[in-house]
Chains A and B, each alone.
Chain A
Amino acid sequence: MTKGLTAWIVGALAVSAVLSMFLPIVGGVVFVLVVPVAVVWSFLNMGDAKGHAERDVAERVVSAAAILAGERNPPEDPQPGWGAALRAELATITIPRERRRFALGAAIALLGRPHSLRSLLLAAAVAVAFGGGLLGVSRAGLGDDGLMAVTMFVPMVMLFAVGYLCTRSSGSLRFGLETGVLAAVTTLVAVAVVLGIEAAHWYDIAPRVSVLDGDLVGFDSTRAAVLDATHPVILLVHLVFWSPWPALGAAIGARAGRMPHNLDGTTGHALGPDAR
């Protein structure tokens, strides 16, 4: 499954790269959608390779939600959690429509638990660190390529690492995804702030130079320079390029780490009362 997922992602990324040369928007959309679609598809199909192809959509949805919530298989987890409870309950429902309704509610229940403050703090720390580094790079000199060479590509690696490390260290894909996505958002804010500050700073030194790419543009005011550097389209392009990487990092972290490699839905080993 890991090889299949990797091949799928690499192939689709290659297609998106080729498409981007001729149809930039289509290529961009494919690029953004590749990893999330691959990850969701991969999780919905977990367990099939182990001979559980008969699982219906409802069971796949609850299983995927349980994994995203960071739960393990009952055989690996001495204290089955709410995901196991919901899968066991689903197994008693036989009417397909009821199963689908229950599965949807179960997924909402599993994934809707309060966000961790830890995710937010880590995301804020990542953004502050990157913003500080970007400021230092800018003050050291724009070079020929401007700051966009840094803001576009360094966060890809950084967000991949955040998704990977958070998932790997916690054993929770949900935590890795949450933290990675939050880090992308906070980093975007940091980039916007630093680009704005640096556009004003460099306008005073070299009014004709764009902080984004180092090209000679010729702004007529500080405001024009700042608005050019923090234009919504520029920020959106950043987000488009960054968005796949936290998901990819979290997915690979989940598979490489302590997370289960299958979720076969066999929740039914009675453990006796676990009254709290």
Chain B
Amino acid sequence: MRRPRKPTPQTIAVVLALADNPSGWSHGYELCRRLGLKAGTVYPILMRLAERGQLETAWETDPPSGRPARHLYRLSGEGVRSAEELRAAAAAEPSRSSLSGIVIRPAPGEAL
């Protein structure tokens, strides 16, 4: 039986960033900017989370004219539970920061 792999600091950061606004949709570039991570890091994480059923995806239904609809992301119920577990684990081990220096900036328009 395969043991579940410990999530990387980048995966934890993406999950917690999405968990900051569990009912709202985020897009990939916004996540990259909030976390200071590259697209080559964030998108593979989003792909894996979606494959595991921890992420819901949707296409923007009413994009502004002149640009295509964006792909949007938010945590599924399972993803939210996973985020809660990650938060609890981080709280239980405050001396060992699981984010390894990754700072989650607030989403645009979101108060600190």
**Chain A residues within 8 Å of B, Cβ to Cβ:** 80, 82, 84-89, 91-93, 101-102, 104-110, 112-113, 266-276
Contact = CB atoms under 8 A, between A and B. Distances in A.
Contact of A266 (B40, B41, B68): B68
Given A102-B32, A270-B60, A273-B58, 18 more contacts: A86-B28, A86-B39, A89-B39, A92-B29, A101-B39, A105-B40, A106-B39, A106-B40, A107-B40, A109-B40, A109-B44, A110-B43, A112-B44, A267-B69, A272-B59, A272-B61, A273-B61, A275-B56
Given A273-B58, A274-B57, A276-B57, A268 B69 contact: yes
10 contacts: A88-B70, A89-B71, A104-B40, A105-B39, A105-B41, A105-B43, A106-B39, A109-B47, A266-B68, A273-B61
- SS class of chain B's interface: helix, strand, loop or mixed? mixed
A274 B28 CA distance: 16
Interface in B35-53: 38-44, 47, 50, 53
A276 B43 contact: no
A52 to B, nearest CB: 14
B59 A273 contact: yes
Interface centre among A86, A101, A276 (most CB of B within 10 A): A276
A108 B69 contact: no
A85 B58 CA distance: 10
A134 B32 CA distance: 53
Interface residues of B, number: 29
Nearest to B54: A276
Contacts of B32: 102, 105
B93 interface: no
A268 B65 CA distance: 10
Contacts, number: 98
A199 B29 CA distance: 59
Contacts of A271: 59, 69
A270 B59 contact: yes
A88 B29 contact: no
Contact of A276 (B28, B56, B62, B63): B56
Nearest to A268: B68
A109 B39 contact: yes
A93 B67 CA distance: 10
A105 B59 contact: no
Nearest to A92: B67
A93 B29 contact: yes
Contacts of B58: 272-275
Given A82-B47, A93-B29, A102-B39, A88 B69 contact: yes
In order of increasing CB-CB distance, the 8 nearest A-B pairs are A268-B68, A105-B39, A105-B40, A85-B71, A108-B40, A109-B43, A273-B58, A270-B69
Given A89-B27, A270-B63, A273-B59, A82 B43 contact: yes
Interface centre among A82, A84, A93 (most CB of B within 10 A): A82
Interface in B88-107: none
A101 B38 CA distance: 8
Nearest to B56: A275
Contacts of B76: 275-276
A93 B39 CA distance: 12
A104 B43 CA distance: 12
Nearest to A273: B58
A105 B47 CA distance: 14
Contacts of B56: 275-276
